[in-house]
Amino acid sequence: MTLRKKVYTVVLTAAMVLSIGFSTAIPTFANNYHDTDYVFNFPMGTNVAYTGIRSKSDDSSAYMKLKEIGPRTYNPAYTASVVNLYGKNFSRTWYYVFDSSDINRGRYLSNYAWEDNHRVVSVQIKAVRRAAHGYYASGVWSPDSI
């Protein structure tokens, strides 16, 4: 191997090692990613429930983890979507169904909150019940994810 090829190999190897080292050393900067508890109560006649309102400060997905839902007699479920503080959809809206098969499974909820505003925006998760009888659901959520 010539000297030129050896130098090229050393430089290339060093560049790869440094790029891998920097990519693992730089933290992810999702801003408001700490989990907050939520409880949705769906007594008879109630179709919609909301989490509390929180500030969303980046273009990451929201995060929701169902911890408990019941009673399970009637296969309770709800559809979740990220909405603004007035309960209105953003320009693009994704819907996610949560039921007993989702217990303890974190899910990332796509949304256009940041894309529509390009600044900090207040959001909440809207839940629409899917079961015929009254039930509750609880877990944690955050407006930004890591």
Could you please report the per-residue DSSP string of the chain?
Answer: --HHHHHHHHHHHHHHHHHHHHHHHSPP--SS---EEEEEEE-TT--EEE---EEE-SSSPEEEEEEEEE-GGG--EEEEEEEETTS---SSB--EEEEGGGTT-EEEE-B-HHHHHSS-EEEEEEEEE-SSS-EEEEEEEESS--
The per-residue pLDDT for range 43-60, each reduced to its tens digit, is 988 999 999 999 999 999
The per-residue pLDDT for range 54-86, each reduced to its tens digit, is 999 999 999 999 999 999 777 899 999 999 999
Domains (ranges, CATH) in the chain? 36-142 (2.60.120)
